[in-house]
Structures are given as C-alpha cells and as structure tokens.
Amino acid sequence: MLIRRAAFERAGIARSDLDARYNLTPDEFRVEGNLIAVGPLYDPDAITDLTDQLESLGLVYFDDFVEMSGNWPGWCQVYVRGG
C-alpha cells in the first residue's frame, strides 16, 4: 500500500499501530520522501482491512493512498515517487 505522507500524518495514524496490527518488520514500513510504503502484507484480508481503516480515518482511495499489489521477481525493482 502506498500512502501519501501528508495524508498519513493528517489522519494521525501511529506507525506502531500498523506494526502491531499487521506484524510489520522494519522493511515492511518505509518512508521515502512524500510516500509511505506499507507491505508486503501477507494476510489475504490485510489489504481490505487496511483500506477500510484508512477510509474510516477520512483518507480517500486513489487521492490519498493506493494499493500496489503484484508479485515481481527479485531482480525486478519498482520505483515510485510522490509528487
């Protein structure tokens, strides 16, 4: 899941809450510039749960966050940057 950092902060989400809820490792919650990347999320229901959680806090899908699902080989890297 990619979340705009400003939206994440505006909603008052605590990283520790996401870490505990989804059992995230340090590499599964990354802050890069204006974006926060959460995942991969291994529980099949986690994406739906996180989407519901973000929307309940007033974030809007596509405007404030977006799901980036996919299974890429280790040699393939995806670069995403918030503008």
Amino acid 41: pLDDT: 87
Instruction: Please name the residue that has the structure tokens 């510039």.
Output: 33
Contacts of 12 (CB under 8 A, 6+ apart): 57
Ramachandran assignment for 33, one of left (phi > 0), alpha (psi -120 to 50 degrees), beta (any other): left
Amino acid 16: pLDDT: 93
Contacts of 62 (CB under 8 A, 6+ apart): none
Q: What's the predicted TM-score (pTM) here?
A: 0.84
Stretch 51-61: mean pLDDT: 96
- Compute the distance between CA of residue 24 and CA of residue 19 in angstroms, rounded to an integer: 5
Stretch 11-28: mean pLDDT: 92
Summary mean pLDDT of the chain: 88
